[in-house]
Amino acid sequence: MNINNIFISYSWDSETHKNWTKMLADKLEEFFEIHVTLDQYDLDSFSDKNHFMEKGVFENDIVLVVITRNYVEKANSRVGGVGIETKMSSARHWEESLKEGSSKIIPILREKYNLPNYLKEKFYINFCEDSSFEESFEKLIAHIKGNSKSPRPE
């Protein structure tokens, strides 16, 4: 069974947003075939946060980008930790896109807002409404497992 290693990139907008992101990571971790890299699990005062972000972007199979207005503003202006992750994620995105035709970066829309510039052509998974969380989560799992497209008739 293949393990999907997933890095979650998000902005520290508020404690509520940080808690929601951790809840998403916790739910993903319940799947045996998924391992999540998240700052709240893996980063502390002794860690090199820039190296953590670099490894997160380049050494995981999939990058989930949790999109809020604040994330987009920081990403597009390359500010703070989000800006650092965006620099690296955009390099990964374009490298994979040129080689494979797509990248393993999945935008998670948490607030109804635009995507960061480098992800504008991508589809996103809509997590804006908490009442639709389970449906959105099922779509995310299908994407992670490579089952997001309908089979072509024979």
Provide the token pair at 139.
Answer: 């779509």
Q: Residue 2 has what pLDDT? A: 79
Q: Residue 19 has what pLDDT? A: 97
Q: Tell me: domain 4-144, CATH 3.40.50.970, correct? A: no
The predicted model scores a pTM of 0.92
pLDDT < 50: residue spans in the chain:
none
Q: Residue 40 has what pLDDT? A: 95
Consecutive H or E run containing 23: helix 15-29
Phi, psi of 79 (to 5 degrees): -105, 140
Phi, psi of 108 (to 5 degrees): -110, 110
Instruction: Give me the helix-helix angle, 80-100 and 69-77, nearest 10°.
Output: 80
Tell me the residue ranges of DSSP E strands in 26-96: 34-37, 62-67
pLDDT tens, position by position, 74-110: 999 999 999 999 999 999 999 999 999 889 999 999 9
Domain edges within the chain: 4-144
Rounded CA gap, 49 and 98, in Å? 29
